[in-house]
Structures are given as structure tokens and as C-alpha cells.
């Protein structure tokens, strides 16, 4: 079974210093109200064939009466599957999902039959670094760029129809991958169907349709039953769960909420293996997501006494939830 790069990493948690969190400030994510979830939440939509990703996001915004919603990773109208949509203030973290690895199941139609062993050879050749020229109809500048294919697994063959699974770097064009593999096989090929099965930390186990969301919201608003809407909306912490984590003491939280960078003395614990310039997620000791930023030192260095650990990038938590620390 193929794994995206972050799924292979098993990180040890390093305790820098013992610290307690006060129940007077903040909330454990599981204790948030539905209204708070709709401000700081994400829904993993099972995108249907037909509408664009932008239209699906707009439909969801209308269903939940949101100020804004943002999808992570555009799917072509006829492509189905995993489409995480961030709600209201959670839209700040869309970029972290856009850059996360993706997985697809693709039905490739070969223009002439080939032997199965030839498919395996081509799959092996196209695993690793590849070069792609984006299609004419694309949202990016049309120039050759390098992308990484993490794995390609053959699932089934029926005559000239080949079903395979592919894990790839964000920004990989599967339609172009299929075309290029067809050229390599010297028979030609085109993409018949495509479904996304993973987008960063989201997969098919947590999918909901737009109708599911509409029904859940109806039960919440009209029947005063929040059981279903809580199942549908996941906390923002789920959306950044693929990033390396750092937990800070209570007195360090508010300065981060104001955009300050994280200094080493504010760290309580952290995951091992963090490298310089790696994107990391910063949490309270109640596991509330505060912000993300770029590591300015490794995990090993962060276990030291002083220095700038993380330069803050995007802040999600509002100031004033935790007390301001006065020196």
C-alpha cells in the first residue's frame, strides 16, 4: 500500500520542559461549539462530477451561510473525490493543504493492447522525479517543471482499460502523466476517469456529500440536534495534522497571536526531526492550533536554552484568548 511522504514519518515527541495549562483560558478542540467549528473548521467534501471546485465551495458556503469558504487543490469538473473545504477563518491555512501530497485512482484507456509486464516497467520508469509541461488549459505558467511521483500501483486490467493508483506531489497533472506513459508504451493512452482519494491528511474515510452537509445543518438549525453537524465539520487541527508540531506554554500563546515569532523558552514540547526552514504547526497545551511558520533551527537546537525557533507566517488564533505575558 502506497504512503505519501508525511504518512511514512513517525515522529517522537521531545519534552523540553514540564508545563501545565490553565482551564481559565482557551478550549480543548473537542469542546468547541458548532458556531466556533464553523469559524475554525474544515469539511472533506466528496466532490461529484460536473461542477467546478469553486462551484462546490460556493454551494457549501451558501448551505452553511458562511462569510467565506476555500477549497484546497482544484479538481477538474469531471474529476470526483476528496476536496477539503476550509470554513471562514480556517481559509488562512489553505496553502498548507495545496502543497501537501495527493493520491488518485485513475482509469487509463490504452489505444492498443500491451503486455502487463510492459505496464510495470513504465510505472517504474515514471516513479520518482519526472518533468511535465502543463496543459494549454491550466492555471499556471506553461513551462516545463519537475514533479515527484511517490508510487504507482496497478489495481486492475480489463483489455485496454488499466486501473491504477498514484501518489504524487501537489501540482502533478495526471492527464499529462497518462498521456506521457502512453507515449512511452508506444500505443497512446488517455485518461478515462479520475478520482482523488487523498489530499494531505484527508482521505475517503471522512468524506461527506453536499447533501450530507445540508441535512446536518437542517438538523442543527431546525431540530436543535448538533450530532450530525459535529460529525461533518472537523476541527482546523485536522487540516494541519500532517505538519511537524510544536507545543508552547500558556504565557507564549498571546504574543504568537499578535504575530510574534516563537523563541526557544516558550516551547514545552516538540516533535523530533524538524529541519531548518520546514513548515511547522504551533499548538497550545490544549492542542489548539495557533499558527504555522518556518523553523529557524532543528529540533535538536530547539531543545537548547535560547534563540529564535520559528518565524511566524499565518496566525489563526485570535489575540486575547490567553493572557498577555508582561515581562
CATH number at residue 306: 2.30.130.10
Q: In angstroms, rounded to a whole number, what is the distance separating the alpha carbons of residues 321 and 327?
A: 19
Q: Is 104 exposed, middle or buried (0-12, 13-18, 19+ CB in 10 A)?
A: buried
Judge whether 321 lies within some domain.
no
Q: Are residues 80 and 229 in the same domain?
A: yes
**Straight-line distance from the first to the last Cα atom of the chain, in angstroms, rounded to the nearest whole number:** 52
Q: Are residues 111 and 44 in the same domain?
A: no
Judge whether 69 lies within some domain.
yes
Q: Which residues are catalytic?
A: 76
Q: Are residues 92 and 37 in the same domain?
A: yes
The pLDDT score that the predictor gives to residue 255 is 96
CATH number at residue 231: 3.30.2350.10
Domain count, the chain: 3
CATH number at residue 116: 3.30.70.3190
Q: Are residues 194 and 110 in the same domain?
A: yes
pLDDT digit string (tens) for the chain, length 327 residues: 689 999 999 899 999 999 999 999 999 999 999 999 999 999 999 999 999 999 999 999 999 999 999 998 889 999 999 999 999 999 999 888 878 899 999 999 999 999 999 999 999 999 999 999 877 666 556 678 899 999 999 999 999 999 999 999 999 999 999 999 999 999 999 999 999 999 999 999 999 999 999 999 999 999 999 999 999 999 999 999 999 999 999 999 999 999 999 999 999 999 999 999 999 999 999 999 999 999 999 999 999 889 999 999 999 999 999 998 754
Q: What are phi and psi of 68, to 5 degrees?
A: -160, 160
Q: What are phi and psi of 192, to 5 degrees?
A: -90, -40
Beta bridge partners of 146: 131
DSSP 205: G
CB atoms within 10 A of CB 28: 13
Pairing of strands 128-132, 289-295: unpaired
Q: Are residues 229 and 249 in the same domain?
A: no
3-state secondary structure 234-258: EEHHHHCCCCCEEEECHHHHHHHHC
Q: In angstroms, rounded to a whole number, what is the distance separating the alpha carbons of residues 240 and 234?
A: 11
Judge whether 281 lies within some domain.
yes
Q: Are residues 252 and 209 in the same domain?
A: no
Q: In angstroms, rounded to a whole number, what is the distance separating the alpha carbons of residues 196 and 103?
A: 6
Task: Choose one of 179, 214, 236: the last residue of a domain.
Answer: 236
Q: Are residues 270 and 121 in the same domain?
A: no
Q: Are residues 162 and 177 in the same domain?
A: yes
Judge whether 17 lies within some domain.
yes
Q: Are residues 145 and 209 in the same domain?
A: no
How would DSSP label each residue in 158-186? ETTEEEEEEEE-TT--HHHHHHHHHHHHT
Judge whether 188 lies within some domain.
yes
- Angle at the Cα of 129 from the Cα atoms of 142 and 147, rounded to 5 degrees: 35
Judge whether 327 lies within some domain.
no
Is 87 in contact with 41 (CB distance < 8 Å)? yes
How large is the greatest C-alpha to C-alpha distance in the chain, in angstroms? 74
Judge whether 70 lies within some domain.
yes
Of all residues in the chain, what percent are helix, strand and coil, respectively (each to 5)? 30, 30, 40
Q: Is 320 exposed, middle or buried (0-12, 13-18, 19+ CB in 10 A)?
A: exposed
Q: In angstroms, rounded to a whole number, what is the distance separating the alpha carbons of residues 55 and 108?
A: 27
The pLDDT score that the predictor gives to residue 179 is 96
Q: In angstroms, rounded to a whole number, what is the distance separating the alpha carbons of residues 205 and 212?
A: 14
Q: Are residues 123 and 272 in the same domain?
A: no
CA distances from 278 to 17, 114, 262, 271, 315 (A): 23, 43, 14, 12, 17
Judge whether 322 lies within some domain.
no
Q: Are residues 20 and 51 in the same domain?
A: no
Distant-in-sequence, close-in-space partners of 62: CB < 8 Å, separation ≥ 6: none
Range of the domain at 50: 32-98+202-236
Q: Are residues 169 and 298 in the same domain?
A: no
Q: In angstroms, rounded to a whole number, what is the distance separating the alpha carbons of residues 281 and 54?
A: 27
CA 158 to chain centre: 33
Amino acid at each position: 500500500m502506497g504512503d505519501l511522504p508525511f504518512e511514512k514519518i513517525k515522529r517522537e515527541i521531545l519534552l523540553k520542559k514540564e508545563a501545565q495549562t490553565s482551564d481559565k483560558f482557551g478550549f480543548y478542540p473537542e469542546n468547541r461549539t458548532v458556531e466556533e467549528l464553523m469559524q475554525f473548521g474544515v469539511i472533506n467534501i466528496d466532490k461529484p462530477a460536473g461542477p467546478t471546485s469553486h462551484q462546490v465551495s460556493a454551494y457549501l458556503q451558501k448551505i452553511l451561510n458562511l462569510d467565506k469558504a476555500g477549497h484546497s487543490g482544484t479538481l477538474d469538473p469531471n474529476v470526483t473525490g476528496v476536496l477539503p473545504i476550509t470554513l471562514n477563518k480556517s481559509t488562512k491555512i489553505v496553502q498548507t493543504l495545496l502543497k501537501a501530497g495527493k493520491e488518485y485512482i485513475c482509469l487509463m484507456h490504452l489505444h492498443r493492447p500491451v503486455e502487463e509486464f510492459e505496464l510495470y516497467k513504465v510505472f517504474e520508469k515514471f516513479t520518482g522525479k519526472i518533468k511535465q509541461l502543463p496543459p494549454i488549459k491550466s492555471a499556471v505558467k506553461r513551462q516545463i517543471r519537475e514533479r515527484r511521483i511517490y508510487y504507482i500501483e496497478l489495481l486492475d486490467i480489463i483489455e485496454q482499460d488499466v486501473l491504477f493508483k498514484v501518489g504524487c506531489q501537489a501540482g502533478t497533472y495526471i492527464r499529462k502523466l497518462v498521456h506521457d506513459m502512453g507515449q512511452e508504451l508506444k500505443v497512446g493512452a488517455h485518461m478515462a476517469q479520475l478520482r482523488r482519494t487523498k489530499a494531505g491528511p484527508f482521505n475517503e474515510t471522512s468524506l461527506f456529500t453536499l447533501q450530507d452537509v445540508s441535512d446536518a445543518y437542517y438538523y442543527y438549525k431546525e431540530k436543535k440536534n448538533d450530532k450530525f453537524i459535529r460529525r461533518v465539520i472537523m476541527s482546523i487541527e485536522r487540516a494541519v495534522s500532517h505538519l511537524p508540531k510544536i507545543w508552547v506554554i500558556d504565557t507564549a500563546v498571546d504574543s504568537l497571536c499578535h504575530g510574534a515569532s516563537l523563541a526557544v523558552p516558550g516551547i514545552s514540547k516538540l516533535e523530533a526531526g524538524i529541519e531548518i526552514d520546514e513548515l511547522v504547526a504551533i499548538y497550545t497545551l490544549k492542542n489548539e492550533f495557533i499558527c504555522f511558520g518556518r523553523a529557524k533551527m532543528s529540533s535538536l537546537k530547539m531543545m537548547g536554552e535560547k534563540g529564535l525557533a520559528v518565524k511566524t507566517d499565518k496566525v489563526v488564533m485570535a489575540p486575547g484568548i490567553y493572557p498577555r505575558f508582561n515581562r
